[in-house]
Structure 1
Amino acid sequence: MPKQHPSSLHNRALDLLAEGRSVKDVAAELHLSRTTVYRWRHAYAHMTAHQFGSRRTPSELSAARARIAELESELRAHRRLAELLNDVVPPKGGSRPSR
């Protein structure tokens, strides 16, 4: 049966990995096997991907939402401009219809 580690150790390992530390360094510092740290990292990535859709930080998500809002606003402006141009400039009447 696998050895049970306290959740505080598990959380500490994940925090160190999130800081950019290597699996090798984290395993050495916390006196764990590399396999254990790899498994914990993989399980966390799998859990968060299914739970939140991706491993994004709150700041990345808020920046993405702001960018989406900006692009949607720009798209509305372009659509409105296209409507206005259709009212003012009629399409060419003498051109051949497309196939």
Structure 2
Amino acid sequence: MGRRGYPDQFRREVLDLVQAGRGVAAVARDLDISTETIYAWRRQDRIDRSLAPGLTSAEKTELAAANKRIAALEAEPAIHRRASELLGKVVTPKDGSKRSL
């Protein structure tokens, strides 16, 4: 599935209709999707087929996963720092009684 929720097969069929000669506006109106969406799909299809410069769909997916991993790794020290702060503030129970878990 694509990023916006349209199945890949649907995208392919839309692009096939446009490539067969149907106008983008007519296809968009008939299928109730925006013309901008079709133009974006067509632009990405041209990139994926090496007809235009840019990041392929696979490269975009890989880059998004890498960025997500980087964000998680950058957040990790803050999480550990906060845990250390919280553990440093542990108060021992009064009168020697044990804490219940």
Pick 1 or 2: higher relative contact order, CA cutoff 8 A, min separation 6.
1
- Whether TM-score is above 0.5 comes out as no
TM-score, with length taken from structure 1: 0.45
TM-score, with length taken from structure 2: 0.44
